Amino acid sequence: MLIRFSMVLVVLFSLLAGLSACEENKPAAPAPRQPSPEKGRMLYMQVCAQCHGVAARGVHFLGADLKTSTLFNQSDERRVIDLIVQGRPATADRPAMPPKGGRLNMTEDDVRDIIAYIHSLPGPTATEATPAATQPTTPP
Ligand code: HEC
C-alpha cells in the first residue's frame, strides 16, 4: 500500500514538474516585435512615397532624401520615430513634414515597419555620392 502511495506521489510530482516547466516556457512579457519591412513597404508607398519618392531619394520641394539624411540614418531610432510621429513645421525654405506623414492612425509599430523598409532600400550609388569638396561637413 505504501509503495502504491509513493508511486502516486511520484506520478503527481512529475506531472507538477511538467506543468511548471510549461509555465517557464511562457514569456512573462511579449517579446519585442520584429519590424516587418514588407508591411512597411505598403505603408511607405501609401503614405510617404508621394513626398519622399518611391526609392526614398527625395522629391524636389517636397520630402528630403532619406537615404542620405543624417537624421534618418543615425543610430538613435527613438529620435527618428519621434520625428516621424511629430512631424516638423514648415520653414521659409521648405514645406512641413506632417505628423505621421498625415496618416494619423498609424501606430508606433507601423512607423518601425516603415523605417525598416527604408533601411532595406539600396543607398546612393558611388557615382551619385557627392564629392567631399562640395558636401557640407555634417558631424555623424
Ligand atoms: C506631405 C509631404 C510629406 C509626407 C507625406 C511625408 N513627409 Fe517626411 N518630410 C517632408 C518634408 C517637407 C520634410 C522636411 C524636408 C527637409 O527638411 O528638407 C520631411 C522630413 C522627413 C524626415 C527628416 C529628414 C531629415 O533629414 O531631416 C524624415 C525621417 C521623414 N520626413 C520621414 C517620413 C516618413 C517615414 C513618412 C511616411 C510616414 C513621411 N516622411 C511622409 C514631407 C513629407
Q: How many domains are there within the chain? A: 1
Q: What atom of ligand 1 comes closest to residue 62's alpha carbon?
A: 12
Is residue 63 within 8 Å of residue 97, measured between CB atoms? Answer: yes
45 belongs to a structural domain: yes
54 belongs to a structural domain: yes
Is residue 41 within 8 Å of residue 55, measured between CB atoms? Answer: no
- pLDDT tens-digit map of 92-139: 988 999 999 999 999 999 999 999 999 999 998 766 665 554 455 555
Q: What atom of ligand 1 comes closest to residue 103's alpha carbon?
A: 38
Domain range for 107: 37-120
11 belongs to a structural domain: no
99 belongs to a structural domain: yes
Among 2-11, 78-87, 89-98, 123-132, where is mean pLDDT lowest? Answer: 2-11
User: Is 45 close to ligand 1, i.e. is its CB under 6 Å away?
Assistant: no
Write down the pTM of the prediction.
0.76
User: Is 79 close to ligand 1, i.e. is its CB under 6 Å away?
Assistant: no
User: Is 68 close to ligand 1, i.e. is its CB under 6 Å away?
Assistant: no
Q: Tell me which long-range contacts 14-17 makes (C-beta under 8 A, separation of at least 24).
A: none
50: CATH: 1.10.760.10
User: What is the 137 CA–ligand 1 centroid distance (Å)?
Assistant: 22
107 belongs to a structural domain: yes
Show the beta-strand stretches assigned E in the chain.
none
Per-residue model confidence (pLDDT) at position 2? 59
User: Is 59 close to ligand 1, i.e. is its CB under 6 Å away?
Assistant: no
User: Is 11 close to ligand 1, i.e. is its CB under 6 Å away?
Assistant: no
Lookup: cell for 40:
512597411
